[in-house]
Structure formats: structure tokens, C-alpha cells
């Protein structure tokens, strides 16, 4: 086997031949599929690293805005209330992001490229955010309740998304790419740790 055929064989072998294990019971056809000939030219950014950077930015920036701008001294806060707001925000954030990202990864495992599903984005992510925001204000009668709940909701969403994307890449040995302004995902195979091994085994 010459070098060219060996490279073609190895490169084709990097692409998944069956549906991804992270699909979590997704309904995917069990058949070999050819990968897309090319991904979008603006997909030059690692989606996992971008999600990690957004998580750090959200925790620091919005934490500073939420808890330093208002005058917190005028609120009477009990430990039970704070714990309740945190639990509600974290639970809703994790559940909503797991459902949303699971659907994204299902489509990614099937088609190798995805675009943003705005209906899912609104129904699964934005609606719960608005519900807990108004719920914290209405139920507890405090804007601080809404602030705390929305903040921990956003943190849990960011951390959950980063964790799911990172686990997908590690499990499938693929890279998830996206653009600076979003627009969906595409997966590409990770390069071998040592490219020279391709030639040594040819």
C-alpha cells in the first residue's frame, strides 16, 4: 500500500462510522455516511474552548454587575432563602441546558454539521430564564431573589454546556468547531498526536 492510499485510509477512519455514543438514545440511522466535503469558512473557533471562556466571563463580569451595583444592605436575606434561590436556579439551568445540548449533539452525530435551532433556543433556554426571573421577584417579592436565581441559572448553564462539549470531544476524539458569532457546530477529526506515525506504518 503506498503512502497516498495509507493516508486516505487513515483520514477516512477518523470519521465516525456509526452514530456517536454521546447521542443519548438519539434516533440515528445505522449506516456509514460520508463526511461533509468542507465546513463553513467561519467555523475556525473551538466551540469547547469558547464555551469555557464564556463561562469564566459570565461568572466574573455578571457576578460583579449583579452583586456590587445594587445596594444589598437594604435587603433582609435569610440563609434559607438564598439556598432556595440557588437550588432553583441551578436545577433549572442544568436541566434546560442538558436537553438543549443533547438535541444539538444528536443532530451533530447524525449530520456532522448543525445550525442554530431558534425554536429550541427560545423554548428550552430563554423561557425558563424569564420564568425564574419573574418567579423570583413575584414569589419572594424581591428583586434580589430574581438576581440571585438568574445568576446561578446562567452559571449552571455555562458550566453544563462546557462539560457536555468537552466530554463529547474526549469520548469521540473529535473537535467541535463554531464561528465567533455562533451559527451552529461542525465536527472534524482530531489530528494524530504524532503525524510521523502515519508514515512509519505505511
Domain ranges of the chain: 42-68+77-200
**pTM of the predicted model, to two decimals?**
0.70
- What confidence category does residue 166 fall into, taking pLDDT thresholds of 50, 70 and 90? very high
Mean pLDDT across 13-32 = 51
Q: What is the mean pLDDT of residues 63-91?
A: 71
* DSSP codes joined into one string, 21-76: GGGSS-----S--PPPS---TT--EEHHHHHHHHHHHIIIIIHHHHHHSS-GGGS-
pLDDT (mean) for 87-114: 89
Confidence of residue 115 (pLDDT cuts 50, 70, 90): confident
pLDDT category, 31, cuts 50, 70, 90? low
Report pLDDT digits (tens) over 37-55.
Answer: 567 778 889 999 999 999 9
Amino acid at each position: 500500500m503506498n503512502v497516498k492510499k495509507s493516508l486516505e485510509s487513515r483520514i477516512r477512519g477518523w470519521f465516525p462510522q456509526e452514530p456517536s455514543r454521546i447521542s443519548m438514545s438519539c434516533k440515528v440511522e445505522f449506516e456509514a455516511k460520508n463526511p461533509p466535503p468542507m465546513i463553513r469558512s467561519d467555523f475556525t473557533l473551538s466551540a469547547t474552548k469558547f464555551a469555557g471562556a464564556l463561562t469564566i466571563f459570565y461568572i466574573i463580569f455578571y457576578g460583579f454587575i449583579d452583586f456590587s451595583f445594587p445596594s444589598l444592605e437594604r435587603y433582609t436575606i435569610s440563609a434559607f432563602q438564598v439556598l432556595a434561590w440557588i437550588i432553583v436556579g441551578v436545577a433549572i439551568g442544568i436541566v434546560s441546558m442538558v436537553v438543549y445540548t443533547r438535541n444539538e449533539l444528536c443532530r451533530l452525530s447524525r449530520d456532522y454539521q448543525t445550525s442554530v435551532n431558534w425554536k429550541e433556543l427560545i423554548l428550552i433556554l430563554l423561557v425558563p430564564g424569564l420564568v425564574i426571573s419573574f418567579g423570583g421577584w413575584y414569589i419572594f417579592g424581591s428583586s434580589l431573589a430574581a438576581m440571585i436565581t438568574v445568576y446561578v441559572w446562567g452559571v449552571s448553564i455555562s458550566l453544563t454546556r462546557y462539560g457536555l462539549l468537552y466530554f463529547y470531544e474526549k469520548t469521540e476524539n473529535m473537535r467541535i468547531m463554531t464561528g465567533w458569532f455562533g451559527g451552529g457546530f461542525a465536527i472534524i477529526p482530531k489530528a494524530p498526536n504524532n503525524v510521523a506515525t502515519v508514515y512509519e506504518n505505511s
